[in-house]
Structure 1
Amino acid sequence: MTDSAHTPVHLSEDDEDYGLEKSLSGDPEPLPHVVVVGGGFAGMAAVRALKDAPVRITLIDRRVYNTFQPLLYQVATGGLNPGDVTYFLRGLRLKQKNVRVVHEHLVEADHAAKKIRLLNDHWISYDYLVVTAGVTANFFGTPGAKEHSFPMYTRSQAMRIRDNLFIRLEKAAKSKRADDGLRVVVVGGGATGVEVAGALAELRTAGLAPAYPEIHGDAFEVKIVQRGGEILKSFAPKLRAYATQELRHRGVSLHLGAGVAAVEREAVVLTDGTRIHADLTVWSAGVSVHDEVSGWGLPQDDSGRIRIGDDMQVEGLPGVFAAGDIAISPSDLPQLAQPALQGGLVAGRNIRALLDGEPLQDLHYVDKGTMAVIGRRAAIAEINLPGGRPLRITKGLAWIVWLFVHIMSLIGPRNRVTTLAGLVTRYGFPFHRRPIPIVGDVPTVRPPKTRST
């Protein structure tokens, strides 16, 4: 065994507050302690990789649930309920007894002493640390963007979009002006922006007329603003062309070739001087690392991402790993679900390798491809076949592949069943053209208070 395998187990008084002072196996000596910060794709993968390892795992997350972010836009546009895309983190204990979940937030780390401090001022010691805390929306310093636009990276943010969407629809339905409706501007022409715009167009086509007959169809506008000259630049030209054609066919306007100079309460101002009226601005233009990461004692690049090696170990900190969107390796993998899943898995396996005195393994990323859905029976998919040959598909077949991949990627059988039902209801039945949308939380109409005599 290497020296790393004999690292002494660290326990503090605050460890005992979380019930960590005893070995889960009943041994008098506690097992090595692995602390995972973040319950997203990478964090969950690291925890699962250590399922049968002789360790105690503490999973720390600021939320009590894991969010399946690729489907958040369906929550934002009324296609799915929030519970369909979230998984209660404590449910991990049902199948993995060596993990405990702590609902808290990391604020400070002392790597020399191998301990971290949480927001509640508790210190937790670790033998191995895995940082997978994710990222947040990047507004790129755009004036007014943070105040007046709606990012969509968390469940609460998606619900805010949904609620504001329906508040505006209800307001338009009561208006006496024929042209009063809902103008939505989606900033960003990547996969998320395209999927949001496509879902909004689907809602307008299938749900607006029966649910809101007071609103004229052309009073519900959806526009994508993209700095570059094309949308979906990571996809092949053929797929980009198909997606552009489908969006326009579904009534989504594209404003390409100009970035956003400012976001106002009811408008988006572009760098070419164009001013676009916007009742609702959805921001899907990029992500960045949380500001507080700078206080965690970890090396960062110019963008704030944690610098790691291809073995997922943080530069200069043996036994400390990072994975997912928050980390950047020499391979510079994209900030997507698959690199996060594969990176988290390698981090967990390498902790097991340290325990067993074996050499660490590098991540050999397998790019399985990318896909995006545009609307009913319309999607694009680029699947990397064995041998490196890409399979590019569109239309209904791509939609079926997209549906299968996303359903199977969800955690828990309940989420798979409810999400399948919701998506098939929204997109899948050719004869089912008028689904009732999931309603947002609009203000309750209350009678005025009367003064008692």
Structure 2
Amino acid sequence: MAHRVVIVGGGFGGLRAAQALEGAPVEITLIDRRNHHLFQPLLYQVATAALATSEIAWPIRHILRRRRDVTTILATVTGIDAKRREVLLEDGSTVTYDNLIIATGARHAYFGQDAWEAHAPGLKTLEDATTIRRKLLLAFEAAEREPDPEKRQALLTFAIIGAGPTGVEMAGAIMELAQEALKGQFRRANPDRARVVLIEAGPKVLGNFREELSEYALGALRRRGVEVVLSRPVTGIDADGLTYGDTRLDTETIIWAAGVQASPAAQWLGVEADKAGRVKVNPDLTVPGHPEIFVVGDTAAMTRPDGKPVPGIGDAAKQAGKHAAKVIRARLAGNTEPLPFRYGHKGDLATIGRRAAVIDFGWIRLTGWLAWWVWGIAHIYFLIDLKNRLYVAMSWLWIYLSGQRSSRLITQGDADKREPIKEVTEGVD
């Protein structure tokens, strides 16, 4: 019987592990609760109507269609029996493994305030992105029908909590959506009156970037009209708005970009985890006491040789997935020497809207329109296939030249219902 490798998660880490095992004497089973691989760095562009869902996600089966050694299963994992070497699925069935790679990613964390999630959705999945896009577009529609000026302004106020790359990119994109894409399309709800408020508990935006790049991003946001609030943690969120410090902000659209929590992999395995729930792995990314199990990406608490944590970005997950495959290959070839994971950081990138971005490759740092073009080229390069690269490039070029965003449709629920604000299901492209 061939060596059985089970990969849980079809994101950056899991997919890269499957690709790196091509040609190895193994049978691979890849399990994911969704049927698609998602390019998460561009989720905010779906949420702000710049891109369609199909432009940043691809069916896993399609990606791996030529791999006869890979079986893809659409299922939800509910646990792991490490003694029996079985992955437990929601229907009660199991999948047996010789090696297991866990790449289940992370979700947003609300720092113990889970009730906030109902009013402040995060951005990790396509469902999250279409939900936020729907909320954004419906806010303008509701404001058009609202006769009370104060309530109308509350509808046109958008709050983003967390000023990391996701929060900064979302803030710039929402402001451009209001000021450019929707300009002249409303009579009562003037999009020019839209307020975008970016709230950060720390002292600066893009906290992991160099000081000069953080300062540039702050200036670029404010020049675009984004209100940036620093060193003021949010203390309350409800259906009518939020509170930070002693300040109350009335808004019906709040987006959470402040923290993440790992999947329950540590609980499945009964092993030690850090505060974010990430499994504390060995230097070779295996689980202590279980050399046959690897944990990669946002699910793992990985460290660099200098002891600093590996950032939770897509490239880190890819490198970890590739390393797990390398160790499995080495063991199958009879090499049992320790192979510690060494992460190579390629740089930090963030965009603040059309014609503005910050890039730090270590050896060179860029800001402004040139950084925006480099940022765009880098992201297009990492998309899965040529069709998507062309579609995204054309969409961005159109937005760059015209300011217009094409994915702005809102669908209703049942056709016989006539409540355009309440009876809204999922936005489509």
CA deviations over 1:301-350 (Å, ceiling 9, x no partner): 34321121221111110111110000013432111112111001100111
* Aligned CA-pair RMSD: 1.9
Asked if 1:74 corresponds to 2:48, the answer is no
Q: Alignment partner of 1:94: what SS?
A: coil
Query: Counterparts of 1:341 and 1:436 in 2: how far apart (Å)?
Result: 31
Match of 1:204 among 170, 178, 190: 178
Displacement after TM superposition at 1:291 (Å): 4.1
In structure 2, what is the Cα distance between the partners aligned to 1:445 and 1:279?
Answer: 26
Q: Report if the CA contact (8 A) 1:372-1:402 is conserved.
A: yes
2:341 alignment partner in structure 1: 363
Q: TM-score, normalised by structure 1?
A: 0.86
Does the 8 Å CA contact 1:166/1:442 hold for their aligned counterparts? no
Q: Measure, in 2, the Cα distance between the counterparts of 1:80 and 1:423.
A: 9
| Runs of 5+ consecutive residues of structure 2 not aligned to the other structure | 420-429
Which residue number in structure 2 is paired with residue 309 of structure 1? 282
- CA gap 1:125/1:339 in 2 versus in 1, 3 angstroms: same
* 2:331 corresponds to: 354
Aligned to 1:438: 408
What is aligned with 1:395?
368
CA contact (8 A) 2:50 2:406 kept: no
Residues 260 and 276 in structure 2, CA contact (< 8 A), matched pair in contact too: no
Structure 1 match to 2:293 = 320
Q: Secondary structure at the match of 1:80?
A: coil
Question: Residues 214 and 287 from structure 1, CA distance in 2 versus in 1: closer, same or farther, beyond 3 angstroms?
Answer: same
Match for residue 274 of structure 1 among 237, 247, 253: 247
- The answer on whether the counterparts of 2:30 and 2:70 sit within 8 Å (CA) in structure 1 is yes
2:158 corresponds in structure 1 to: 184
**CA distance 1:436–1:345, shift in 2 (3 Å):** closer
Does residue 34 of structure 2 align to residue 63 of structure 1? yes
TM-score by length of 2: 0.91
Aligned to 1:125: 96
Q: Return the alpha-carbon distance in structure 1 between the equivalents of residues 324 and 418 of structure 2.
A: 59
Structure 1 unpaired stretches of 5+: 1-29, 385-389
Q: Which letter maps to 1:264?
A: D
Distance change in 2, residues 1:441/1:292 (3 Å): farther
For 2:188 and 2:276, locate their aligned partners in 1 and report how far apart those are by CA, in whole Å: 48
- Contact between 1:72 and 1:152, CA under 8 Å: does it hold in 2? yes
- The Cα of 1:433 is off from its aligned counterpart by 3.7
In structure 2, what is the Cα distance between the partners aligned to 1:216 and 1:70?
A: 30
For residues 362-416 of structure 1, the C-alpha deviation after alignment (integer angstroms, 9 at most, x for no partner) is: 22211101110111111110013xxxxx311011110111101111111122222
| Alpha carbons 1:239, 1:380 under 8 Å: kept | yes
* 1:316–1:256 CA distance, 2 compared to 1 (3 A): same
Counterparts of 1:276 and 1:77 in 2: how far apart (Å)? 22
- Counterpart residue number, 2:70: 99
Q: Tell me, yes or no, if structure 1 residue 415 matches structure 2 residue 415.
A: no
Identity score, percent: 31
**Contact 1:109-1:297 at 8 Å conserved across structures:** no
| Corresponding position of 1:289 | 262
CA 1:246 to 1:330, structure 2 compared with 1: closer, same or farther past 3 Å? Answer: closer
Alignment-mate amino acid for residue 158 of structure 2: V
Structure 1 counterpart of 2:44, which letter?
Y
Q: Is this contact kept in 2: 1:61–1:103, CA < 8 A?
A: yes
Structure-2 separation of matches of 1:92 and 1:107:
25
Say which of 343, 346, 350 aligns to 2:320. Answer: 343
- 1:28-177 counterparts in 2 under 5 A? 30-142=1-113, 144-177=115-148
Q: Distance in 1 between the 2:334 and 2:396 partners?
A: 47
